[in-house]
């Protein structure tokens, strides 16, 4: 096979699929990317046998057809160092030759027939949602998962569909992120056991689908899920285990509803984080007389006090949070927007809500008496 490539486009596609390629695996063949050439179109596939991606490659001219395996890490390194816009790739049964400008490389080739297949969406319940909406939903929830947890369901995002509503939820048991949007049509999957999708797969999807109204089709089956949008298809096995009954931990009522501007609140959080360490993560949030005061103390660092004017005229209230968890929430929001913080007291769960169906629950830390 001979391919005439626009090198930057080839690098972009190769980097996208290489995100799935495992750096360590007993199956060395998985360190490759599968190249498929048919009818003048070129696609790349990669999988770690839990998550897979299929990506169309733009800017390639060829009259060849066939399949080949490309050593992902080595080829990315080569293509990134080249300087010419054009590159030629010639693939035989035994080798891969890359030429660009005055540079030439020859790499060994492996048998593509040994590479695992990525399933397609032949059956299963399918529905669609605008890709831009889906990207925002993933961005607002994926950070709240716990990929290191022995409770496997905490390492993924639960996907629920109820009529035209689709909800993503994520939790690591210390905080909970829930976001809802509208589907664009299709057949909703069985809601008796909503699927839990690995964080790795959802983050991969968020990086590779467009931020617009292009529809993403989601096909859910018993053990896996498939996302198809434009030139990208992402496949994933589902996470085993039961996801927590997250609705039970969202407080139904609150005593204080406090509106906060995201930008100024986020700035104060970042300042308060400076004077914290592993032993002294807690920051006291004191609400009193139109002012939010953030106090932090770390034995070997020092102290900080940051004041933020707010619209608050209730009784004085102090609650302690790990500022990292609030910063994670605020950085995915529009900095010009506002959020409402719902509090009951200094020891109960706090709830942040936005005006576009996004809810974030965070547990306070025990305060030093």
pLDDT for the residue numbered 80: 94
Determine the average pLDDT of the residues in 214-228.
Answer: 93
Report, as an integer, the average pLDDT of 4-13: 95
Q: What is the mean pLDDT of the chain?
A: 92
Query: In sequence order, what are the residues at sequence separation of 6 or more whose Cβ sits closer than 8 angstroms to the Cβ of residue 129?
Result: 166, 181, 182, 183, 184, 215, 216, 218
126 — pLDDT class (breaks 50, 70, 90): confident
The CATH number of the domain covering residues in 251-362: 3.10.150.10
Least confident range of 122-126, 137-141, 170-174, 328-332: 122-126
**pLDDT (0 to 100) of residue 337:** 97
pLDDT value at residue 140? 98
* pTM of the predicted model as reported, rounded to 2 decimal places: 0.91
User: pLDDT > 70: what percent of the chain?
Assistant: 96
Q: Which of 219, 226, 205 is nearest to 134 (CA)?
A: 205
Q: What is the pLDDT of residues 167-187, one digit of tens each?
A: 999 999 999 999 999 988 776
Task: Enumerate the domain spans of the chain.
Answer: 2-114, 125-247, 251-362
Residues 6+ apart with CB under 8 A from 226: 119, 120, 121, 124, 218, 219, 233, 234, 235, 236
Please tell me the distance from the alpha carbon of residue 134 to that of residue 168, in angstroms, as a whole number: 9
pLDDT tens, residue by residue, 335-367: 999 999 999 999 999 999 999 999 999 999 986
Query: 358 by DSSP, 3-state: which?
Result: strand
Secondary-structure breakdown of the chain: helix, strand, coil percentages, each rounded to the nearest 5: 20, 40, 40
Structure confidence at residue 368 (pLDDT): 59
**SS3 call for 240:** coil
Tell me, what's the pLDDT at 369? 46
10 Å CB burial of residue 135 (0-12, 13-18, 19+) is buried
> Which class in CATH covers the domain with range 2-114?
alpha beta
Domains 125-247 and 251-362 share a fold: yes
Are the C-beta atoms of residues 177 and 351 closer than 8 Å to each other?
no
| Model confidence pLDDT, tens digit, residues 254-298 | 999 999 999 999 999 999 999 888 777 899 999 999 999 999 988
pLDDT recorded at residue 243 = 92
Q: Which two tokens stand for residue 88?
A: 């030629």
- Give the residue-averaged pLDDT of 81-108: 95
Q: What are residue 132's phi and psi, to 5 degrees? A: -60, -40
Give residue 329's pLDDT. 98
Model pLDDT for residues 49-81, shown as the tens digit of each residue: 999 999 999 999 999 999 999 999 999 999 999
What's 125-247's CATH class? alpha beta
**Which one, of 17, 13, 2, lies nearest residue 79 by Cα?**
13
């Amino acid at each position: 096979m001979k391919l005439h490539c626009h090198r930057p486009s080839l690098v972009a596609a190769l980097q996208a699929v290489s995100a799935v390629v495992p750096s360590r695996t007993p199956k060395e063949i998985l360190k490759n990317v599968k190249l498929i050439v048919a009818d003048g179109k070129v696609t790349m596939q990669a999988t770690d046998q839990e998550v897979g991606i299929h990506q169309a490659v733009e800017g390639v001219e060829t009259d060849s057809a066939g399949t080949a395996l490309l050593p992902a890490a080595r080829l990315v390194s080569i293509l990134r160092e080249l300087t010419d816009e054009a590159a030629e790739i010639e693939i035989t049964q035994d080798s891969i030759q890359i030429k660009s400008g005055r540079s030439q490389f020859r790499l060994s080739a492996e048998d593509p027939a040994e590479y695992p297949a990525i399933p397609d969406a032949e059956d299963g319940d399918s529905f669609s949602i605008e890709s831009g909406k889906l990207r925002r939903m993933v961005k607002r929830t994926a950070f709240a998962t716990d990929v290191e947890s022995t409770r496997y369901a905490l390492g993924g995002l639960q996907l629920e569909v109820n009529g035209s509503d689709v909800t993503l939820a994520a939790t690591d048991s210390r905080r909970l992120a829930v976001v809802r949007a509208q589907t664009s049509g299709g057949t909703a999957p069985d809601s008796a056991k909503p699927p839990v999708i690995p964080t790795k797969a959802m983050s991969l999807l968020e990086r590779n689908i467009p931020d617009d109204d292009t529809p993403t089709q989601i096909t859910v089956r018993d053990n896996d899920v498939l996302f198809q949008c434009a030139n990208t298809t992402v496949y994933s096995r589902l996470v085993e285990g039961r996801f927590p009954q997250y609705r039970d931990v969202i407080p139904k009522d609150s005593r204080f509803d406090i509106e906060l501007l995201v930008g100024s609140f986020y700035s104060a959080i970042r300042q308060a984080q400076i004077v914290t360490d592993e032993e002294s993560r807690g920051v006291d949030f004191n609400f009193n007389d139109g002012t939010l005061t953030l106090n932090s103390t770390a034995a070997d660092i020092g102290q900080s006090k940051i004041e933020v004017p707010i619209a608050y005229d209730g009784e004085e209230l102090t609650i302690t949070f790990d500022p990292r968890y609030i910063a994670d929430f605020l950085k995915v929001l529009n900095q010009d927007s506002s959020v409402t913080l719902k509090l009951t007291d200094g020891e109960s769960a706090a709830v942040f809500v936005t005006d576009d169906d996004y809810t974030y629950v965070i547990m306070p830390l025990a305060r030093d008496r």
